[in-house]
Amino acid sequence: MSNRHVKIVEVGPRDGLQNEPTVIPSSVKTEFINRLSKTGLSHIEVSSFVNPKRVPQLADAVDVFAAIKRTPGVHYSALVPNEKGLMAALQSNVDSIAVFTAASNKFCEKNINCSIEESIERFKPIVEIAKQKNIAVRAYVSCVLGCPYEGYISPQKVSHVVKLLWDLGCSEISLGDTIGAGTPNQARKMIHACMDVVPVDSLAVHYHDTRGQALANIFASLELGISIIDSSVAGLGGCPYAEGATGNVATEDVVYLLQGLGYVTGIDLGKIISTGKFICKQISRTNNSKVSAAGLPMGYENYEKS
């Protein structure tokens, strides 16, 4: 495993803050993103261009994009549900966009007000325009290991949607355990099914940590060759349309795991920990990172990381 590069996609400013009970001031979001930009992260999901009545927490996407200080080499992206969102995202000079659908029809309806099939149709012009503008399109598939409305989701249902998105021209597909229901064996089966239809290096994993399974699922995913992991500083996160779903796996904990396994991330763990503390203080929230809570062990810098 040593020396393999793993990309972390930091989703805290988007997935994290979309689920906060209050709207966080744009200035705090901007400072949060500016701090994240100095940690060595290469990819930050800044916000969403969605209906502001549905997600008021991110209604200031335009303002935040205009205010952040972009660090060269850092990629700033946003969620886009339709052409209207795409146009706003392009005006904000996003580096790339992400469309989002699900492996469960019921969740898809609740989240974006259309069926899976309709969502794919909706994405066609988005991908077309993005291609013309040379902007990469990531796609999310939610509920890959369980749905709050349909229950168990088979690996074949997931791989079917993954193939549709790949054929559409999405270059990276993030597999979302939206409600943190899965365990490693289930995650393995689901990823195997997806690897049968798309290259493994185009797949990302996006585990919410509702039941404490995220790091175990990440370990299982790494063993299968996954090299893109979504996470959120301080374990912020959740989906307003998946009741009971808690935060994403904490970036601090993922970086600690990856460093211990000898993977290359380019991320400064100390800076990630202090950024997590900063945002939790600003928004009066509990820090769900186990590493942040415990602190680094004495002499951590001398630990052998193989």
Q: CA-to-CA distance for 5 and 259, rounded, in angstroms?
A: 11
- If the CB atoms of residues 15 and 209 are measured against Mg ion, the closer one turns out to be 15
Q: How many CB atoms lie within 10 A of CB 71?
A: 18
Smallest gap from residue 232 Cβ to Mg ion (A): 8
**Chain-centre distance of CA 141, in angstroms?**
11
Nearest to 98 by CA among 113, 119, 117, 70: 119
Binding-site partner at residue 138 among ligand HMG, Mg ion, none, CB < 5 to 8 Å by type: none
Q: Which amino acid is at 177?
A: D
- What character string, x for contact with ligand HMG (CB under 6 A) and - otherwise, covers 66-105? -------------x-xx-xx--------------x-----
Q: Tell which one of 108, 187, 206, 234 touches ligand HMG (CB under 6 A).
A: 206
113 binds ligand HMG (CB under 6 A): yes
- If the CB atoms of residues 10 and 15 are measured against Mg ion, the closer one turns out to be 15
Which residue blocks in the chain are alpha helix, DSSP H?
A: 26-37, 61-67, 83-91, 105-112, 116-132, 155-168, 184-195, 214-223, 251-261, 269-282, 290-294
Nearest to 94 by CA among 127, 57, 135, 128: 135
CB 99 within 8 A of CB 139: yes
First to last CA, the chain: 9
Residues with active-site annotation: 239
123 binds ligand HMG (CB under 6 A): no
Smallest gap from residue 196 Cβ to ligand HMG (A): 21
Q: How many CB atoms lie within 10 A of CB 261?
A: 15
111 binds ligand HMG (CB under 6 A): yes
Rule CB under 5 A: which residues touch Mg ion?
Answer: 15
Give the Cα-Cα-Cα angle 3, 236, 68 (nearest 5 degrees): 80
Binding-site partner at residue 33 among Mg ion, ligand HMG, none, CB < 5 to 8 Å by type: none
Q: Tell which one of 9, 10, 12, 15 touches ligand HMG (CB under 6 A).
A: 15
- If the CB atoms of residues 273 and 283 are measured against ligand HMG, the closer one turns out to be 283
- If the CB atoms of residues 43 and 71 are measured against Mg ion, the closer one turns out to be 43
Q: Which residues bind ligand HMG (CB under 6 A)?
A: 15, 18, 48-52, 54-55, 79, 81-82, 84-85, 100, 111-113, 140, 142, 176, 178, 206, 208, 239-241
